[in-house]
Structure 1
Amino acid sequence: MAFGVPIVLIIAVAFFVWLFSYIIPIGLWVSAWAAGVRIGITTLVGMRLRRVPPNYIVAPLIKSFKAGIDLAINNLEAHYLAGGNVDRVVDALIAAERAEIDLSFERAAAIDLAGRDVLEAVQMSVNPKVIQTPIVTAVAMDGIQVQATARVTVRANIERLVGGAGEETVLARVGEGIVTTVGSADAHTRVLENPDSISRTVLDKGLDSGTAFEILSIDIADVDVGKNIGAQLQTDQAEADKEIAQAKAEERRAMAIAEEQEMKAQVQRMRSKVVEAEAEVPLAMAQALKEGKLGVMDYLNFQNIQADTDMRESISGKDQDKQSRNPKNVD
């Protein structure tokens, strides 16, 4: 126990020293006073109690003081509590001050809270950025496809960063302008001969309206000739007409076959009726003989006439066969 009490006291003293140095960041307070920033110990303790890391506030405050920018510590703390990046905002203010760009802390904080990189925006205001459109495909009035790629030089507009459209909108508008300009050309050769006409026409449309950027220039990087859309459409139309004509011809053929089948059916029905009628003749003659309406001599005469008719039909059939086999013998 004699050795346990001093150890406990040492641990307790070390814990209280650590707790005191954590709650009251003496080193950070000394650094601020050494830099000329007057900040009270109670303010640093209040940051700890509000769960605001003092280093996230004091370090940017020292940086802004050395750059000659007067910022209130309450504004920095409020921006951190709102979820903003205090260090990034201070760097943007310093860069704007050096570039003589009018940027207030409230505007920078609003841009940062809006989800945009305020420092990158300031840098883009000084050094414009070049963005390239994907391949834009358009068709001239002569039916020839034209593929163009443009490079758009933009500069960030600080005043429109909050609520302004981004790069995607600028690229979409430029692509739409290229399609409209190429589509209004009489021939694709005019576009190939004078590609800067596209950039002039698109630039005059004011495509940066409502965006967070200011378009400085639009340069056509590449122009290529694509497919002959007009000829392809004509070919497709001819193929469609061909298929329609074939379908109609097939329909007419089917109708002709159906009519032929119907006629054959009618002929067959007529033959059936003839056979039925021929079958009734002997019965009728027998009935006539039985009733005495037809004599035996009349029946024999009928048989002779029938045999004579059959003989003539057979002779006539043989003559026709000979003529068909020997057409030269026909006078």
Structure 2
Amino acid sequence: MDTRVLSILIIGIIVVVFLILFFSFVPIGLWISAAAADVKVSIFNLIGMRLRRVVPSRIIIPLIKSTKAGMNVNVNQLEAHYLAGGNVDKVVDALIGAHRANIELLFEKAAAIDLAGRDVLEAVKMSVNPKVIETPNVSAVSKDGIELLVKARVTVRANLERLVGGAGEATVLARVGEGIVTTVGSSESHKEVLENPDKISKVVLSKGLDAGTAFEILSIDIADVDVGRNIGAQLQTLQAEADKNIAQAKAEERRAMAVAQEQEMRAAVVQAEAEVPRAMAQALREGKLGIMDYYDMQNIVADTKMRNSISATGKKGMGIKNIDEDK
């Protein structure tokens, strides 16, 4: 009797464990939910998902949502997108949102956008409700040299056709900034821009800045225009300073050349004076200069030195500097 009870108990435990494993592997709850929502999914298909390492709830729940929304999406499409690493739930939500807003969006396009790394649901929302992008302060200089700091608000709408491979928000902001710089730079005066800021919007908007981007620019509105530095005056000041430095450098070069030339001339004079005693000695040896002539010349030199000394002493007493002393 005890043996039979033990056998029944063991069999019961085995059955319970088997049922637990069966119901944990086979998603009966999802199959019942799908059947209640009139979604045709067989139990073997759910088991196949388990074998293919696909979480059945990630497929069945979005499939139920799409079926209730009237979308023509099948299990194979959702499972293939899941295996490719996509977000099935977001793709289905995006399809439902586009369907409700009368925006044509096929499953293949939505899946491609999702696999490209973009938020397809956010893109659909932006198609329905345009987004406002605010640029940072853009520095631009008009022809009169005055800097203007311009801030613009760009209203964009997602272009689902160009969302795959199209440029992002950074490209749109860069192009708008370039258009602002070009428009302000072509203005004769900064006052002209301050009087008609809408001129920037019209010119920039007419350039077709949304070409090749994932957005469609609806409007460009100038939010703020501030007057900055006088760039023209600063550039003129820097140019004048540079011209002054160049002129000083050239003047210093000319002075150095004059000093060098003067030194060369003095050296030539010293060299010539050094040749005088040699020439006199040669003249004495050759008899061209007599000894009395030499003494007379020495007397003249001594008399000249004495006169110069007396003259210098007299000038000092009268408060007059000698020119040779200054030199």
User: TM bucket by the smaller chain?
Assistant: 0.7 to 0.9
The answer to whether residue 195 in structure 2 is matched with residue 193 in structure 1 is: yes
Q: CA deviation at 1:197?
A: 0.9
> Secondary structure of the residue that 2:41 maps to in structure 1?
coil
Measured at CA, do residues 260 and 8 of structure 1 come closer, stay the same or move farther in structure 2, by a change above 3 Å? Answer: farther
Q: Distance in 2 between matches of 1:217 and 1:303?
A: 107
Mapping for residues 12-161 of structure 1, pairs under 5 Å = 12-161=14-163
Measured at CA, do residues 267 and 48 of structure 1 come closer, stay the same or move farther in structure 2, by a change above 3 Å? Answer: same
Measured at CA, do residues 322 and 125 of structure 1 come closer, stay the same or move farther in structure 2, by a change above 3 Å? Answer: closer
* Residue type at the aligned position of 2:262: E
Measured at CA, do residues 319 and 44 of structure 1 come closer, stay the same or move farther in structure 2, by a change above 3 Å? Answer: closer
Q: Distance in 2 between matches of 1:109 and 1:308?
A: 120
Mapping for residues 151-190 of structure 1, pairs under 5 Å = 151-190=153-192
| CA RMSD of superposed structures (Å) | 2.9
Q: Distance in 1 between matches of 2:189 and 2:68?
A: 63
Measured at CA, do residues 42 and 166 of structure 1 come closer, stay the same or move farther in structure 2, by a change above 3 Å? Answer: same
> Equivalent of 1:231, from 230, 233, 254?
233
> Equivalent of 1:252, from 226, 236, 254?
254
Q: CA deviation at 1:21?
A: 1.9
Q: Distance in 1 between matches of 2:256 and 2:268?
A: 18
Q: Deviations over 1:193-238 (max 9, x none)?
A: 1101111111122211222111111100110111112111111111
Instruction: Give 1:204's aligned residue.
Output: 206
Q: Which moved more, 1:262-271 or 1:231-240?
A: 262-271
Instruction: Give 2:323's aligned residue.
Output: none
Q: CA deviation at 1:307?
A: 6.8
Measured at CA, do residues 193 and 14 of structure 1 come closer, stay the same or move farther in structure 2, by a change above 3 Å? Answer: same
* Residue type at the aligned position of 1:133: T
* Residue type at the aligned position of 2:85: G
Q: Distance in 1 between matches of 2:159 and 2:294?
A: 120
Q: CA deviation at 1:50?
A: 1.0
Q: Deviations over 1:51-91 (max 9, x none)?
A: 11111100111111222223111111111111111100111
TM superposition score normalised by structure 2: 0.86
Instruction: Give 2:224's aligned residue.
Output: 222
* Residue type at the aligned position of 2:148: V
Measured at CA, do residues 254 and 33 of structure 1 come closer, stay the same or move farther in structure 2, by a change above 3 Å? Answer: same
Measured at CA, do residues 245 and 82 of structure 1 come closer, stay the same or move farther in structure 2, by a change above 3 Å? Answer: same
Measured at CA, do residues 313 and 171 of structure 1 come closer, stay the same or move farther in structure 2, by a change above 3 Å? Answer: closer
Measured at CA, do residues 307 and 45 of structure 1 come closer, stay the same or move farther in structure 2, by a change above 3 Å? Answer: closer
> Aligned residues, how many?
316
Q: Deviations over 1:251-294 (max 9, x none)?
A: 11111111122122222222322244456677x39xx7xxxx99
> Secondary structure of the residue that 1:69 maps to in structure 2?
coil
Measured at CA, do residues 17 and 320 of structure 1 come closer, stay the same or move farther in structure 2, by a change above 3 Å? Answer: same
> Secondary structure of the residue that 1:70 maps to in structure 2?
coil
Q: Deviations over 1:231-251 (max 9, x none)?
A: 111111111111111111111
Unmatched runs of 5 consecutive residues or more in structure 2:
319-327
Measured at CA, do residues 87 and 303 of structure 1 come closer, stay the same or move farther in structure 2, by a change above 3 Å? Answer: closer
Q: Which moved more, 1:239-248 or 1:96-105?
A: 96-105
Q: Distance in 2 between matches of 1:163 and 1:11?
A: 59
Q: Distance in 2 between matches of 1:158 and 1:318?
A: 106
Unmatched runs of 5 consecutive residues or more in structure 1:
none
TM superposition score normalised by structure 1: 0.85
Instruction: Give 2:264's aligned residue.
Output: 262
Q: Distance in 1 between matches of 2:181 and 2:115?
A: 36
Bigger Rg over Cα: 1
